[in-house]
Amino acid sequence: MRVLDRFRLDGRVVLVTGGGSGLGRAMASAVAEVGASVAVVDRDGARAATVTRELTAAGARALAVTADVSRAEETERAVSATVAAFGRLDVLFNNAGITSVAARAHEFAEAEWRRVLDTNLTGVFLMARAALQIMLAQERGPSGLRGKLVNTASIWGLGGSQLHPVPAYAAAKGGVVNFTRELAAEYARDGITVNAIAPGFFQTNLSPRMREPDFATRFGSTVPLGRIAQPEELQGLAVFLASSASDYVTGQIIAIDGGITAV
C-alpha cells in the first residue's frame, strides 16, 4: 500500500464526541475529507446538526446525535445510533470536554469539581465502554485491529498549569492520560488501540477567556513556537491516529502544543 493510502478512511465509521465545535469539529471534517462516515455527537444538538450539514454538503456521510457524554444511557444511544446508521464503529474520538472556573483547590466548590469530572473523565469512560462493546464484537481488519480509541487529554493532564488554577480540569485530564494507557494495555490483544492527543492552546469555544482580545498574545507568548494554534492544525494528527498509518501505535499520549511540554 502506498504511504498516503494508509491515511485514507474509506469505508470506516468514526464517532466524534464534542464534534459540534472546536477541536471535535476539526476532527470530524478531517476524517470525513479522507473518506470516513462520521457521527457528530454533541450535547448541543444545533451545533452537531450544523457540522453534519457541512460534512454532507461536502459529500460525506454524516449523522448528528444529541447526547451528553456524562450520562451512561446517552452514550449507549449515541453508539447504537451510529451503528444503526453506518453498520459498524471503527474509531471513537473521545473528545467532548469542558473547562472550569479558575479557582485554587482550597476554595474550589465540590459541585464544580464533580461537574468537570463528570464530563471530562467519567464521560470518557462511558463513551469508551459503549464503543468497546461494539468493537470487541467486530471482525479484525488486515493488521489484526478491530478498532481505535483516541482520547482528548490536555497538556494540563501532563503537568500543572502555571497560568491559572485548574485543579479539577488537571485531575480529569491526568485521569484521561492514564486511563488511555490502562485501556491500551488491556485491549491490545483484542486488536483495539488506544491513544490520546494532548493539545496545548487552540482557539476554540472552550472558555470565555479564549474570546478575550488579548488571549492569542497572552497565551501565545508562553509557547516556544510563539503563538497559539487553530483547530485545523490538529487534523493531521487526528487522521494519523484514526487511520492504519498508526496501527502499531498504542498507549501513547501525543502532545501538540508548540513545544510547551518540551521545556
Stretch that binds ligand NAD, among 38-46, 55-63, 135-143, 185-193 (CB under 6 A): 38-46
Interacting span for ligand NAD (CB under 6 A) from 28-36, 138-146, 198-206, 241-249: 198-206
Identity of the residue, 123 or 165, whose beta carbon is nearer to ligand NAD in the bound complex: 123
Reported as type and span, the H/E element at residue 255 is strand 253-256
Segment contacting ligand NAD by CB under 6 A, of 40-48, 82-90, 102-110, 184-192: 40-48
Q: List the grid coordinates of 25.
A: 469539529
Identify each DSSP E strand in 100-241 by its residue range: 147-152, 192-199
Q: Is residue 174 within the footprint of ligand NAD (CB under 6 A)?
A: no
Assess 16 for contact with ligand NAD (CB under 6 A): no
Among positions 201, 250, 255, 256, the unique one binding ligand NAD when judged by CB under 6 A = 201
Residue whose CB is less far from ligand NAD, 47 or 146? 47
Largest interatomic CA distance in the chain: 56
Tell me the window of 2-10, 52-60, 65-73, 132-140 that interacts with ligand NAD (CB under 6 A): 65-73
CB of 224 to ligand NAD, least distance (A): 16
Size of the site for ligand NAD (CB under 6 A): 28
Q: From the candidates 86, 113, 156, 169, which is the catalytic residue?
A: 169
**Which contacts of 206-213 are long-range, i.e. CB under 8 A and separated by 24 or more positions?**
206/22, 206/97, 206/98, 206/99, 207/99
Q: How far is the CB of 223 from ligand NAD (least distance, A)?
A: 11
Per the structure block, which three cell numbers stand in for 107?
476554595
Q: Does residue 21 bind ligand NAD (CB under 6 A)?
A: yes
Count CA atoms within 13 Å of residue 255 on its CB side: 17
What is the rounded distance in angstroms from the CA atom of residue 105 to the CA atom of residue 218? 24
Out of 13, 16, 20, 31, the residue judged to bind ligand NAD by CB under 6 A: 20
Indicate if 187 belongs to the active site: no
Q: Which of 97, 174, 191, 258: binder of ligand NAD (CB under 6 A)?
A: 97
Residues 6+ apart with CB under 8 A from 174: 157, 158
Cβ-based nearer residue to ligand NAD, 152 or 243: 152
22 binds ligand NAD (CB under 6 A): yes
173 neighbors 154 (Cβ within 8 angstroms)? yes
Alpha carbon distance, N-terminus to C-terminus of the chain:
38
Does 18 engage in binding with ligand NAD (CB under 6 A)?
A: yes
> Where are any strands of DSSP class E within 46-100?
62-66, 91-94
Name which of residues 66 to 85 contact ligand NAD (CB under 6 A): 68-70
Is residue 25 within 8 Å of 19, Cβ to Cβ? Answer: yes
Q: Where does residue 159 fall: left (phi above 0), alpha (psi -120 to 50 degrees), or beta otherwise?
A: beta
Looking at the annotation, which residues are catalytic? Answer: 169
Kindly list the residues in this chain that would bind ligand NAD in the complex (CB under 6 A): 17-18, 20-24, 42-44, 47, 68-70, 95-98, 119, 123, 152, 154, 199, 201-202, 204-206
